[in-house]
Amino acid sequence: MSVTFVTHGHVGSRVVMVFELGNLRGTRRGHEFEFMSAVTNHQIRHYELDAHGELALRFVMGLGYAEEYLREVIVYVTKVHKDVLNAHVGDGEDTIESMVLVTRGGGGGGGGEVDVVRRGKARDLY
């Protein structure tokens, strides 16, 4: 299995780490990706987000490109841990939003960020 560490951060009191599952790249795993007609090619990528060493969320991202430029992103997020809430309640931190922000390097911990690379050009997802 090809697993690559992408980034880390903090959500609440937990250390969160994001990994890309390279061996699943290109597989849809039951998710439907309907890209706009302007999209000339696409990639499917899989990520897992661990909190304190336990799997918390799975991300499947469909990246649609018009020529070499990122045009469209479709993301499926699946909760896989009981501590991840089904909905944001109250005035506190939105745990799922904070976990997703970690993937772009905005989670307060440093590390890298999820970059989309196509034809040698890096494009930030957000």
Confidence of residue 109 (pLDDT cuts 50, 70, 90): very low
Q: Where are the domains of the chain?
A: 3-118
Mean pLDDT computed over 114-126: 41
pLDDT (tens digit, 9 = 90+) per residue, 69-80?
Answer: 888 988 888 888
Q: How far apart are the C-alpha atoms of 95 and 111, rounded to whole Å? A: 19
Write the DSSP string, 56-99.
EEEEEEEEEEETTEEEEEEEEEEE-STTS-SS--SSS--HHHHH
Say whether pLDDT at 46 is over 70: yes
